[in-house]
Structure 1
């Protein structure tokens, strides 16, 4: 599956199935092992986890913060394409400096998508 197909699939899933808003494809890309990585950015309809408690998220009138999403194909995940170095480069070159986490969107061959949080650095686990 081509990179543009993967990005479009994840964007449509976020917009029409997960009900995200303000989903956009970022223009910056990162060349990694012969492939081009691009991020999506969007606003989820609800709080995604209990790990980040800030005043911004506790306010009912303010919108949810924007999240960054890294779409990859399952075959890339299995072939050691996604390494710690790759994730470090993604945080450094594609995300804003204040970004603490990204959502990893892994697309299977049948079109299903699973989402995982990937954090910058080591994080203490939190209870849900």
Structure 2
């Protein structure tokens, strides 16, 4: 089951602000199940011309993430905003503090080519 901490979210938030120049980043706490709380980030990517908010799931490299966890996060975001995002970013943090970002899509996504 996915779990993260506020400290991990703060590390990813710092990386987004100072390295990727994101703005308006906020931390959102989701209660997925009983005694299961996840912190996600919401912010604006300066390269995004649509000016909508993107969502990020900060996880440690050793965290096991299931499809059920991702589905619950997509549904919680959809219930709070009124629309389920088609894509989120998963921010994977290594032991040395480096952060790697992967696109995570809700449902099946057709490849570009």
Q: Count residues in correspondence.
A: 107
1:89 maps to which residue?
A: 72
1:102 maps to which residue?
A: 88
Structure possessing the higher radius of gyration over alpha carbons: 1
TM-score normalised by L of structure 2? 0.84
2:111 maps to which residue?
A: 125
| Structure 1 segments of 4+ aligned residues over 2 angstroms from their partners | 30-36, 94-98
Q: How far 1:64 moved relative to its partner?
A: 2.1
Q: Is the 8 A contact 1:39 1:70 kept in 2?
A: yes
User: Unaligned regions of 5+ residues in structure 2, if any?
Assistant: none
- RMSD of Structure 2 on Structure 1 (CA): 2.0
1:16 maps to which residue?
A: 18
CA distance in 2, matches of 1:9, 1:88: 24
TM-score normalised by L of structure 1? 0.75
